[in-house]
Amino acid sequence: MVAVSEIRAESGFENLVQKKPWHQVTLELTRKYPLGVFGAVVVVVMILLAVFANVLSPYDPEENAFEFMLTPPGADFWLGTDQFGRDILTRIIYGARTALFVGFSCAMIGACIGLVLGVASAYFGGRFDLIFQRVMDVFMAFPLIIMAMAVVSIFGTGTQNVIIAITIPFIPRCARVVRSSALSIREIPYVDAARALGYSHTRIILRHMVPNVMAPFLIMLTAFVGQAILLEASLSYLGLGVQEPTPAWGLMLQGGAEEYAESAPWMAIWPGIAISLAVFGFNLFGDALRDVLDPKLRSL
């Protein structure tokens, strides 16, 4: 007599029900999206660096130590020190905190406001949609960096204002993309059904339409994190962003790094690599996410 378990094993039924082990899933993903997995690894490493910054580094990122001024890379200071004697590696590790904080705050706030506005614009349609689209046009026509400069000049510099400056230009960009997907959802009968049931506009927008535009929303969100990190670095480099002594990558490239570029090139090289790698990681991850979630949006 054949045991029941053997029959199951033979029919391959077990395999269908059983979930694949995680390492197999990872392997498959790596084979299919090698760049995306690389991006995800960079993002995870960056988050870990930011969380465990104080454990990983023996130095203080903000305290001056003039006896170690402009030390070249070596055993004590792996990536050298800056003109105030601060360890570059420590400031890069702590800089990941600033970058991720600014990146995620801007992306979350900007994409969420854009999501609600974009869906509402598609849902109400008509005159509201027309006027709203013209307002978005105006904000889109402003080059991103110019918009950010104006906001920072008004509200002043500092981390919080940098977040405002970067978030404002993100809103219309997200609203535009979300609106175009929401327009097609509006035509699906369940929205009419919800209206016939007498649900409020808020409920229909938030409970019935928003969950169905999650794919473009998530894609915009990851793209925004990378863009926000890059913009924060550019603003800080121009002196309009995060201020000393907060460790921030763009700030590390300003002033001293350019002045001592020839005699102490490590000051200019490493923070730039950190910015590039971080943005690169988020972009690769976002691209793979887009391919998985919605291949139609390839041109974004």
Partner 1 sequence: MYKYIVKRILLMIPTLIGAAVLVFFLLRLIPGDICELRLAGTGLYADPAEIELCRNNLGLNDHILVQFADFVMGFLIFDLGDSMWTGKPITFEIGLRFQLSLQVAFMATFVAVIISIPLGVISAVKQDTWIDYVVRSFSILGIAIPSFWLGIMIILGLLIFTQHWLGEPWMPPIEYVSPLEDLGGNLAQLIWPAVATGYRYSAVATRMTRSALLEVLREDYIRTARAKGLLEKIVINRHALKNSLLPVVTVIGIEFAFLMGGLVVTEQVFNLNGLGKLFVESVLNNDYSLTQALVMIVVAVFVFTNLVVDLFYAWLDPRIRYS
Q: How far is CA 75 from the centre of its chain?
A: 34
x-or-dash pattern for partner 1, window 209-248, by CB under 8 A? -----------------x---x--xx--xx----------
HEC string of 104-125? Answer: HHHHHHHHHHHHHHHHHHHHHC
Of residues 167, 172, 183, the one with CA closest to residue 119: 183
Contact status: 137 vs partner 1 (CB under 8 A): yes
b/e per residue 28-42 (b: at least 16 CB within 10 A): eeeeebeebbbbbeb
Report which DSSP code applies to 62. S
Tell which one of 45, 69, 108, 149 touches partner 1 (CB under 8 A). Answer: 149
The encoded tokens of residue 251 equal: 């700030």
Q: How far is CA 295 from the centre of its chain?
A: 20
Contact status: 265 vs partner 1 (CB under 8 A): yes
Q: Which stretch binds partner 1 (CB under 8 A): 4-12, 64-72, 78-86, 278-286?
A: 278-286
Choose between 51 and 130: whose C-beta lies nearer to partner 1.
130
Contact status: 187 vs partner 1 (CB under 8 A): no
Helices (H) then strands (E): counts for the chain = 15, 0
Contact status: 74 vs partner 1 (CB under 8 A): no
Q: How far is the CB of 68 from partner 1 (least distance, A)?
A: 23
Phi and psi at 81, nearest 5°, equal -125, 165
Tell which one of 153, 180, 184, 202 touches partner 1 (CB under 8 A). Answer: 153
- Residue 212 amino acid letter: N
Contact status: 154 vs partner 1 (CB under 8 A): yes
Choose between 67 and 262: whose C-beta lies nearer to partner 1.
262
Q: How far is CA 67 from the centre of its chain?
A: 38
Q: How far is the CB of 3 from partner 1 (least distance, A)?
A: 44
Contact status: 253 vs partner 1 (CB under 8 A): yes
Give residues in contact with partner 1 (CB under 8 A).
34-35, 134-135, 137-139, 141-146, 149-150, 153-154, 226, 230, 233-234, 237-238, 250, 253, 257-258, 261-262, 265, 268-269, 271-272, 275-280, 283-284, 287, 298-299
